Amino acid sequence: MSPAYINLSNPKYFEMDGIYYSTLIITDYSRENFDLLLKSIIDTNININISFFYEKQDKYKTIKDLTYHIGNVGSDLKVFRENRQDVDIAAFTYNDAKYIRKEIQVNNEDLYFLYVYINVFSNNKKELEYVLNKIEGILQSKGMQTKKAYFRQDLGNLVCYPIMENPKEIKDVARRNVLTSGLVGTYPFISSSIFDENGILIGTNLYNNSLVFVDRYSEKYKNANMCIFGTSGAGKSFYTKALILRYRIQGIQQYIIDPEREYLKMCEKLGGTIFKIGPNSGTYINIFDIREDSLEDTENGYLATKITKLIGFFNLIFGELNEEEKSTLEEKIIETYSLKGITFDDKSLLKFDNKKISIKPTFKDSNDMPILEDLYNLLNDEKTKKFKIKLLPFVKGSLKYFNNYTNIEINNKLILADVYELGEDNLKYAIFLFTELFWDQIKKDRSINKAIYLDEIWRLIGVTSNKEVASFIYKIFKTIRKYGGSAVAITQDISDLFSLENGIYGKSILNNSSIKNFFSMEEENIKILEKYSNISEKEKIEIKSLKRGECLMFAGDEHLLTKVEVSDFEKSIINGGENN
């Protein structure tokens, strides 16, 4: 507003502080228009300022003038019968005037004078001229005529400032009339963009090349949950790594379930803690652990809550259990805990130092809990024979690393659970173990932001799972917000995700994620996604044609195509030190 210098010596442009400005005045429009007038240029990556002015006209005077005009033109039509061209032009004018009068009188519309100015700017004169010609070409293709504000560039620049100044010298050129319904076509806010103040960079908007910043912990969104769906090689893992890296810099506490060992190198590079579970790991998690943080301060019923989770876990091992089998298994679980002195009384989970009566009791740790072998030893009757046979590998066979006390401590803000060694058939057991462990960690402190990334989530809520486990995962997505958390669902197996219980769990998780990222998918998966989400026909086509690293992002009510962007330095970290 206070420039160092202004140069008006050239009638083609207005120079101010080394920037060149030139204004286009829209002087005419298509007689009928069914689209947004400026959509084609707002979606371009061009430096422009656009100014609209609307002047409402007096309705009584307008009707009076129109009636007078209709009468005159009607008389002219009778006189100019000999000249066919004059008759056609007069007929258009006559019909337009009657239409406008009818809309004002019958449909209660108003008449406005419309003025539209487009101010283009660049720090290079040649580029300015190129862009002006480009915009003129785009507007003309949409039926609009323009005029350059030669010798009036100072006024063209002034009219695009937010000071409500529309100089008479140029407004007479720009003035055109429009009804109230026609004003909809001038609506300028038609290009979606997301620029959350405290957000992290996601990439660029494919429509207009603007930067996309998302703060998923913002109150702007109902929750901080995310879904990342896409076929293999579409770029979803790279995108997830970029998120982890940028939130690591912000100090967000993050937990990652990594079934395919995709995040291992990056986690090492970032100084995260890696927990491996498998035949060669030496890391153990006791499925029978009851942790102090598994309930909130105001809640009761540690054992009852744990039994529900255990039934889900054992369903993964034993297959779908009927009600009788569940009752039998629950009875044995209760008996297993009772051997360690743990009952439905929450106080039974406290241990006292008998030598120091005044010391506050502490919560029992993993070594005070039963292990799988304790349950196995109780399965001695005919009813539980099936359970004992299926538990044998977990107690004495190839999966005996599940039969041990927990020996890990979590003291890092970036934790990776590497379950790759378990193989395809056994992954779901370890994924469940770590998910439960991380969930209890997330509930510890509501004041800090945290996130859990569930890659291959279909294993826990798909057809190979069961409704107890799926309900537990759904509960995480439904309630994690109140703990300051964000749950991220990642999968390429869309069909499996919606296969359990007619897809109710997959749909619930999708609906409980305010931010959704859809990378390129096959036609079959797009049809499944359409069934469970509100994607439009246009968006279905866009998803199918996305390139690697591009996604359709739903962030709250905003839908936009985004290209994931990272720097070379970030890429070297994401690739574990290999910049490729």
Q: What percentage of the chain's residues is helix, strand, coil (to nearest 5)? A: 45, 20, 40
pLDDT at 580 over 50: no
Calculate Rg over the CA atoms of the chain. Answer: 34
Helix, strand, or coil (residue 300): coil
* pLDDT, tens digit, 9 for 90 and up, residues 305-357: 999 999 999 999 998 889 999 999 999 999 999 999 999 999 999 988 766 65
**Residue labelled with tokens 């005919």:** 382
More confident residue, 359 or 84: 359
* pLDDT band at residue 452 under the 50/70/90 scheme: very high
Tell me if the domain spanning 224-282+408-541 has CATH number 3.40.50.2000. no
Are both 224-282+408-541 and 284-407 of the same fold?
no
> pTM value?
0.74
**Strand partners of residue 111:** 179
Residue 25, CA atoms < 13 Å, CB-side half-sphere: 24
Euclidean distance between CA atoms 102 and 91, whole angstroms = 16
Residue 507 pLDDT > 80, yes or no? yes
Which pLDDT tens digit goes with each residue over 411-425? 899 999 999 999 888
Q: Which tokens hold the place of 391?
A: 């538990």
In DSSP notation, 496-556 reads HHT-GGGGHHHHHHHHT-SEEEE----HHHHHHHHHHS---HHHHHHHHTPPTTEEEEEET
Cα–Cα distance, 121 to 520 (Å, whole number): 36
Q: Determine contact, residues 120/132, Cβ cutoff 8 Å.
A: yes
Separation CA 94–CA 74 (nearest Å): 7
Residue 3 has pLDDT above 70, yes or no: yes
Helices (H), 339-384: 372-376
pLDDT at 476: 95
End-to-end CA distance of the chain: 46
Q: How confident is the model at residue 276 (pLDDT cuts 50, 70, 90)?
A: very high
Please, which pLDDT band fits residue 538 given cuts at 50, 70 and 90? confident
Higher pLDDT, 211 or 79: 211
Tokens of 216: 């998923």
> With 60 as the cut, is the pLDDT of residue 554 above it?
yes
Q: Residue 121 pLDDT > 90, yes or no? A: yes
The Cα 449–Cα 480 span in angstroms is 10
Structure confidence at residue 354 (pLDDT): 66
Give me the chain's average pLDDT, please: 90
- pLDDT digits over 148-183, tens only? 999 999 999 999 988 899 999 999 999 999 999 888
User: Which burial class, exposed, middle or buried, applies to 330 when counting CB atoms under 10 A from its CB (0-12, 13-18, 19+)?
Assistant: middle
Residue spans of alpha helices (H) in 410-522: 427-442, 458-461, 467-479, 494-497, 504-511
The class (CATH top level) of 284-407 is mainly alpha
Q: Is the pLDDT of residue 366 over 80?
A: yes
Name the strand (E) or helix (H) holding 205.
Answer: strand 200-205
79 three-state secondary structure = helix
Given this model, what pLDDT does residue 32 score?
Answer: 76
Distances, alpha carbon 441 to alpha carbons 294, 309, 437, 485, 562, in Å: 8, 16, 7, 11, 33
Residue with tokens 């060149």: 20
- Tell me whether residue 337 is exposed, middle or buried, using C-beta atoms within 10 angstroms of its C-beta: 0 to 12, 13 to 18, 19 or more: buried
H or E element that contains 414: strand 414-418
| Rounded-to-integer distance, Cα 229 and Cα 337, Å | 41
Q: Which residue type sits at 291? A: R
Confidence category of residue 433, pLDDT binned at 50, 70, 90: very high
Q: How many CB atoms lie within 10 A of CB 565?
A: 14
Instruction: Phi first, then psi: give them for residue 5, nearest 5 degrees.
Output: -155, 155
Please list, in sequence order, all residues whose beta carbon lies within 8 angstroms of the beta carbon of residue 4, skipping any fewer than 6 positions away.
Answer: 17
**pLDDT, tens digit (0-9, with 9 covering 90-100), for 80-120:** 555 555 666 677 778 888 888 999 999 999 999 999 999 99
**Residue 18 above 80 pLDDT?**
yes
Q: Which of 271-280, 349-358, 484-493 has the lowest mean pLDDT?
A: 349-358
**DSSP 8-state symbol, 348:** G
Q: What is the pLDDT of residue 40?
A: 77
Instruction: Give the C-alpha distances (Å, rounded to integers) separating 405 from 284, 374, 442.
Output: 6, 12, 21
Could you give the CA distance from residue 483 to residue 72 in angstroms, rounded to a whole number? 75
Q: Of all residues in the chain, what percent carry a pLDDT higher than 70?
A: 94
What's the residue count for the chain?
Answer: 580
Tell me the three state secondary structure of residue 46: coil
Domain borders along the chain are: 6-186, 224-282+408-541, 284-407
